[in-house]
Amino acid sequence: MLEQPDTKKRGRERGREGFTLIEIMVTLMIVTTLIGIAVPNFLRAREVSRSRACIKNLRTITVAKEQYAMDNHLASGATMPALSALCGNGTTDYIRGSGPVCPSNGTYTVGNTATDPTCSVGINAANPFAPHILP
């Protein structure tokens, strides 16, 4: 004669089928903590990258200003034309293309021959560790 399987005994032998609520909550807490640490660092790295790209653009504008001043025999402190005059107008391409663009949506000011070009973002209040000014 065949014996009937004991349902209580069979349930214990199979083991548990899922995670407990505590295990899920602990896992979510760990993931949330890791995200809380990673996101601010990612945002800071992105802003530092934008700042470095802006500083590279400012250096490009500085070199174009110097070349323009030498080609046109301008004295120190002389007024410079707008940035668009230094950019890709065909015969005198001091800067190729339509000109540099600040990655943080700032605008560039060329200034005169004795001053450095500037970006309207300057020192970002949200992230003072990534200024948009020439060192």
**Single pTM value for the model:** 0.72
Q: Which helix (H) or strand (E) holds 13?
A: helix 7-14
Q: What pLDDT shows up at residue 83?
A: 87
121-129 CB contacts, 8 Å cutoff, 24+ apart = 121/54, 124/47, 124/51, 126/47, 127/44, 127/47, 127/48, 129/44, 129/48
* pLDDT digit string, tens, across residues 13-33: 556 678 899 999 999 999 999
Domain ranges of the chain: 20-119
* pLDDT digit string, tens, across residues 73-105: 999 889 988 888 888 766 667 888 888 999 989
Question: Which is nearest to 121 in space by CA: 100, 96, 99, 103?
Answer: 103
- pLDDT at residue 12 above 70? no
CB 99 within 8 A of CB 64: no
Q: What pLDDT shows up at residue 127?
A: 63
* pLDDT digit string, tens, across residues 59-81: 999 999 999 999 999 998 899 88
